[in-house]
Structure 1
Amino acid sequence: MRKAFFTFIFLGFVFVTVSAQENQDSTQREGVFDQLFDFGDMVINVISGEKWAVIPALIYSPETSLGVGARAIRVFRPEKGNMSVLRPSTLPITLIYTLNNQTIFTTELDLWLNENKDFINSRIELSNFPFYFFGIGNDPLPKEEGELYGNRYVYFHANYLRRIGKGIYIGPRYEFRADDIYNRVEGGVLETSKVPGYDGQLLSGIGLNLNYDTRDNIFQPTKGWYNRLAWMGFTPVLGSNFTFNQYTLDFRKYFKTFGNQVLALQSWWSFTTGGPTFQHISLIGGSDRMRGFFEGRFRDNHAQVQQAEYRIPIYRNLGLVVFGHAGQVAREVGEFNMRRMRYGAGFGFRYKINKEGLNIRLDIAFGDQTAFYFGLNEVI
């Protein structure tokens, strides 16, 4: 971890030094830079039609290794309503195959209606996703001893939110997930521990979301809040074969600092009660929470993550971000303490692909491993 930290500082120093030298030679190089960015913009325009942008999908993360496929995304506003007020809606469709023999199909609709008074979100995911299990707790198996298991699953959720006050939205949520674990290590951790969900799961539940959203832009906010309080309850009454509740608190704040630079902060908490499955228990790691830690390496009844990201425009559509985070999991809420925190940091680059602010992102993170992430849109 210390080595990763100093590597991060060194790379930052190199970037600043190179930037200073480029400023001295800016007059000579301006033409070259503009030609490169003109070419990048031309490529984006070629793959982006009037309604759909279709791009080859290239992803990389520790959980998937290298993944290739195709991604289509439509950013639009319904014809009805005040175009100057209505937030952009999105419909991405993604098909990926990874070097870890994982096949992933996802599509998700974010639909803003009625001058932002109504919001509809739904997601479908179909995956054949071999993955690793490290056990339960804040001190799981060493990462070299993670146990591979085969898993196929289908996932669906649907939300509806209605604005009831300035920036305040409330509405119901439904979730469904079915997992088929078709391959386990004989006599391994999953078989011997028999944690809930070790031989598959069928989940069906309803819940409630309460959001406070005052962001000035949903893709690239420079000010405002995005806070979410959520409850999900899974019960046999709705067809679930496991019974548990999950509560999520997600607080985000955006500050515009110098020029167009932005500081984004997030405090995320998850609390699970009842008999949750290991697939759906509170967990940290991955590309959204605690980059640099394998997704699900740390999982337990409760989890918390604190994240900060600083965003700096560099030139035209290119930007730089630096980020840091800390988090932990616990069986009981009273076990949370500073000594149990896991820490990570990193930096990345952004390239804006449309006027709404949608970004392609590349992140390099240092946690309990050095990890690379390539994808769309911001993390926080």
Structure 2
Amino acid sequence: MQSIISSERVALMVLSCMVCYFAHAQRPANEIEISKYHTDTIYQRDLIDIGKRLLNVKPPEDKDSTGKKFYFSFLPFSTAVPGGGHALITTTTAGFYLGDRKDTHMSRVTFTPYTNFGQRFGFPIRSYVWLNENKWVIDGDIRILKYPHDTWGLGKEHAAEDYLRMDYTYLRVYQHVLKRIKGGFFMGGGYDLDYRMNIRSRDDMPLAEYTDYTHGTSNKGSSTSSGVSLNLIYDTRANSINPWDGYYANLQWRINPKFLGSDESWQSLYFEAKRYHRFTKNRNKQNMLAFRHIFWTVFNSKAPYLDLPNLGWDPYNSSGRGLPLSRYRGKSLYYLETEYRRDITKNGLLGFVAFTNFTTVSGPESTLFGTWNMAGGAGARIKFNKNSGTNISIDYGVSKHFKGVSLSLGEVF
């Protein structure tokens, strides 16, 4: 495991990179507030159009000049879930405008409840809301989960087949409010709570013995991290459901003191950057290379085990396609992913993606930036709602010891 000093040096390096990133990405304010992407959806087709045609439905025209219309997408499906078994999952995505779409980006709220009608359930609500004229952005994440899944300790100390099955009930409440400072740059703060109850191993070996990590793995069976965070966001995407151009960067410094209810005092730094590069000027055609970087680290050796940086637990749980959830965990994690996106049909109804990702974590048998883990795959895209840009995403990912299919609404990042 890396020392605290080493983590601080890496954090300073990331902060320096972020400054350079902002300097490179900065544009005039009017270009940021009014996206260059204005698609004419009359030339596009989605599943709603096909349904209207089959049912001979002709709704009245709606000019919707204010842009305050809601666009809903709904997808029920059954899938395999971490920890074994299947669950019924229902994903609902709402895209909407809280101002004139000429100067206000599209907001999104995603609700993805699931259950196996037994010992597994979840009620996650994720929101990213732009207020009028993009003056404020509100970022929220509320979850109540009964979530059995597997863990592999720190770094690469355990082989792929040597996992420990664990179970717990999880409450997450994250709420961040940020004000626009200039252009696409926002600054604000928020509150972050991670409360896990009834933490236990489903196998004979206790979690503390398996991980050789004492914090958040004790027999008391609970873990609480309650803190405040400073948040910086740079966002020039007009639509976060399906970005067609722009930049995104998110820096969060989180402090979890005991007086706010945390079991131990600890801090963390999370940084994520995304870039969308288009190869065509045709705004009705998808031909893009997207990529993102994630760096995540903690600064105190007393951070609870389940709060340590780990694969698949970024804000949208979207990292690590082609790898099991939580396959790699450590005090520091870096993740790089690239994806090529392109339409198959001229009307945008069908498309495809190809992706690859690389992960490195600190741990007993691995070093940050010294030990890498790779995965990749491809996927199909079906346009569900052209007005919000919502796609049905079907991805097949593979890695050295794992392969699997994932299904979702909206792009992965």
TM-score (norm 2): 0.75
Contact 1:61–1:374 (CA<8 Å) still a contact in 2? no
Q: Tell me by how many angstroms 1:325 deviates.
A: 0.9
Contact 2:382–2:392 (CA<8 Å) still a contact in 1? yes
2:294 corresponds in structure 1 to 268
Q: Tell me by how many angstroms 1:347 deviates.
A: 0.3
1:305 corresponds in structure 2 to 335
Q: Relative to 1, partners in 2 of residues 1:86 and 1:371: Cα closer, same or farther, differing over 3 Å?
A: same
Q: Relative to 1, partners in 2 of residues 1:194 and 1:249: Cα closer, same or farther, differing over 3 Å?
A: closer
Q: Tell me by how many angstroms 1:229 deviates.
A: 1.3
Counterpart amino acid of 2:131? L
Q: Distance in 2 between matches of 1:224 and 1:35?
A: 24
Q: Distance in 2 between matches of 1:213 and 1:35?
A: 27
1:141 corresponds in structure 2 to 158
Q: Relative to 1, partners in 2 of residues 1:108 and 1:40: Cα closer, same or farther, differing over 3 Å?
A: same
Q: Relative to 1, partners in 2 of residues 1:36 and 1:211: Cα closer, same or farther, differing over 3 Å?
A: closer
Unaligned stretches of 5+ residues in structure 1: 1-33
Q: Give deviations 1:75-131, integer Å, cap 9, x for gaps.
A: 2223xx323221122233232014994211112232211211101122211111112
TM-score (norm 1): 0.81
Partner secondary structure for residue 307 of structure 2: coil
1:129 to 128, 147, 168: 147
Unaligned stretches of 5+ residues in structure 2: 1-44, 58-68
1:211 to 233, 240, 257: 233
Contact 2:77–2:88 (CA<8 Å) still a contact in 1? yes
1:197 corresponds in structure 2 to 216
Partner secondary structure for residue 217 of structure 1: coil
What are the within-5 Å matches in structure 2 for residues 278-289 of structure 1? 278-285=305-312, 288-289=318-319
Q: Give deviations 1:316-340, integer Å, cap 9, x for gaps.
A: 32210000111110149x93234x1
Q: Distance in 2 between matches of 1:131 and 1:314?
A: 36
1:369 aligns with 2:402: yes
Counterpart amino acid of 2:368? F
Contact 1:61–1:371 (CA<8 Å) still a contact in 2? no
Q: Relative to 1, partners in 2 of residues 1:203 and 1:341: Cα closer, same or farther, differing over 3 Å?
A: same
Q: Tell me by how many angstroms 1:207 deviates.
A: 0.6
1:234 to 242, 256, 265: 256
Q: Which has the higher contact order (CA 8 A, sep 6+)?
A: 2
1:112 corresponds in structure 2 to 130
1:154 corresponds in structure 2 to 171
Q: Relative to 1, partners in 2 of residues 1:59 and 1:159: Cα closer, same or farther, differing over 3 Å?
A: farther
2:269 corresponds in structure 1 to 247
Q: Tell me by how many angstroms 1:135 deviates.
A: 1.1
Q: Relative to 1, partners in 2 of residues 1:145 and 1:189: Cα closer, same or farther, differing over 3 Å?
A: farther
Q: Distance in 1 between matches of 2:55 and 2:253?
A: 40
Aligned residues: CA RMSD: 2.9
Q: Relative to 1, partners in 2 of residues 1:337 and 1:113: Cα closer, same or farther, differing over 3 Å?
A: closer
Identity of aligned residues (%): 24
Q: Distance in 2 between matches of 1:260 and 1:100?
A: 42
Q: Tell me by how many angstroms 1:280 deviates.
A: 0.8
Partner secondary structure for residue 310 of structure 2: strand
What are the within-5 Å matches in structure 2 for residues 20-169 of structure 1? 39=50, 52-60=72-80, 62=82, 66-78=86-98, 81-98=99-116, 101-137=119-155, 139-169=156-186
Contact 1:268–1:305 (CA<8 Å) still a contact in 2? yes
Q: Distance in 2 between matches of 1:119 and 1:45?
A: 40
Q: Tell me by how many angstroms 1:63 deviates.
A: 5.7
Q: Relative to 1, partners in 2 of residues 1:77 and 1:45: Cα closer, same or farther, differing over 3 Å?
A: farther
Counterpart amino acid of 1:345? G
Partner secondary structure for residue 115 of structure 1: helix
Q: Relative to 1, partners in 2 of residues 1:348 and 1:43: Cα closer, same or farther, differing over 3 Å?
A: farther
Q: Distance in 2 between matches of 1:319 and 1:63?
A: 31
1:324 aligns with 2:361: no
Counterpart amino acid of 2:138? I
Q: Distance in 2 between matches of 1:42 and 1:203?
A: 52
1:178 corresponds in structure 2 to 195
Contact 2:359–2:374 (CA<8 Å) still a contact in 1? yes
Q: Distance in 1 between matches of 2:89 and 2:54?
A: 18
Partner secondary structure for residue 207 of structure 2: helix
1:343 aligns with 2:343: no
Contact 2:167–2:202 (CA<8 Å) still a contact in 1? no
1:257 aligns with 2:279: yes
Partner secondary structure for residue 161 of structure 2: helix
Contact 1:348–1:362 (CA<8 Å) still a contact in 2? yes
Q: Tell me by how many angstroms 1:145 deviates.
A: 2.1
Partner secondary structure for residue 329 of structure 2: strand
Counterpart amino acid of 1:290? G
